[in-house]
Structures are given as C-alpha cells and as structure tokens.
A = this chain, B = another copy of it.
C-alpha cells in the first residue's frame, strides 16, 4: 500500500492544531502569505520546528515567499481529518460535563455535541444548552443512531473505566478522558487524557523550584 505521507511524528501532530489556529487568525486578518518565522512566533515555537513539522505534510511553501495562508490552512485541516464533522457524546452531566456541552469551541471547530449522557434519572430528559440528556442505558443506541465518533468522559473517577469499555464496545472511534483516573482502551483506539489537577500540580512543581532558586 502506497502511503501519501510518511508517518507524522506524534510531537508534530500535537502541534498541528496550534499552527491551524494561527492560520485561521491570519486568514481572518486577510493575510495572503506567512513565513515560518511569523507562524513560529504566533505559535510559541521556533521557526526550524515549524518548517520541519510542515514538511511532513508535503512541500507547500514557496522559497523566498513563505506559505500561502489559505492553502496551508486547507492542508493542515485535511491532515487533521477536519474535512468532516465528528459528532461527540459527553458522558457525565455534572459540572464539567455541562460546561463542556456549552463550550462553543467544540461545535465551532467541527465537533458537534450530539448528546449528553448521565446515569441520574433526575437529569435524564432535561436539556442543557439545547442538548438533550439521555440515560446511560441508551449509550449503545445513541452511538449508533447519532453516529457518535468521539466519547468524552466527564464522570467521577470511579465510573470512567466502565464507561470507556462501553463506549469502545459500542463502536466509538476515540476517547477523551477528563476523569481524574488513568483509563485504558484497546490498542488502536486513540485516547487522550486531560486532568486539570495534574496541570496545577505541574505548575506547583516549577513554582516551588523557582522559589528555591530565588533564595
């Protein structure tokens, strides 16, 4: 099988959304071209890295000129698989789940929130920011009916693994976990884990180290 692109390094994939955001901004400001220098500055990385990263997608720049904003935005979006929408379901309708449901960034960027799912009968049937809350018993049906591609876990830690198992079993394509617990999914199912407290603890470490070196 001929591959169109060589495999793109993980570190590069993680930066593509950052570049894309910068490109959207440039596009909105009607910029035609952008140099790796400028793109690097907007993305908080160095220019060599930008060029190397973009070179994995193909050869889309023009020497002496830079990159065509429109065209590069298209190519980056395509590489990220953002040509079509990926409906998401949020499992767990607590505070975090509701906030995520209401986060315009998701729908805006091609990830419509198709359903909120909860285990609490009292929440089921309600509508949060225009999204209906369904009972977790219907999880499998919803995935099929609504064509859910991504499951977002916003449950308490104790429920997260079981939910992940059910999502995968139901045929979900990838999982984003916000519960403060490490979960596992079968090989080949993309998984990202984001823990808000972890981020604060990392800051705490560096804060403390700075304080120590100031003394």
CB-CB contacts below 8 Å: A2-24 with B: 8, 13-14, 16-18, 20-22
Interface flag for A42 (CB, 8 Å): yes
- A201 interface contact, C-beta 8 A: yes
Residues of B within 8 A of A198 (CB): 14, 17-18
Q: Does A138 contact B (CB under 8 A)?
A: no
Contact residue among B105, B184, B208 (Cβ-Cβ distance under 8 Å from A196): B105
Distance between Cα atoms of A119 and B197 in the complex (Å): 26
Binds B, one of A30-38, A58-66, A74-82, A139-147: A74-82
Query: Bound state CA distance, A194 and B195, in angstroms?
Result: 10
Taking CB atoms, residues of chain B closer than 8 Å to A194 are 194, 196, 199
Selected contact of A207 from candidates B8, B86, B199, CB within 8 Å:
B86
Contact assessment for A210 and B188 in the assembled complex, using a CB-CB cutoff below 8 Å = yes
Interface residues on A, range: 35 or more
Stretch from A47-55, A162-170, A173-181 at the B interface: A173-181
- Contact residues of A: prevailing secondary structure: helix
Is there an interface contact between A203 and B150, defined as CB atoms closer than 8 Å? yes
Q: Does A100 contact B (CB under 8 A)?
A: yes
A196/B103 contact (C-beta < 8 A), A81-B208, A201-B82, A205-B79 known: yes
Most buried by B among A98, A188, A209: A209
A95 in contact (CB, < 8 A): yes
Q: What is A's interface to B at a CB cutoff of 8 Å?
A: 8, 13-14, 16-18, 20-22, 42-44, 79-82, 86, 88, 95-96, 98-100, 102-103, 105-106, 108-111, 149-150, 173-176, 180-182, 184, 188, 190, 192, 194-211
Q: Given A16-B201, A106-B196, list of 13 further CB < 8 A pairs?
A: A13-B206, A14-B202, A17-B202, A44-B184, A79-B205, A86-B200, A96-B99, A98-B99, A99-B99, A105-B180, A173-B210, A190-B203, A194-B196
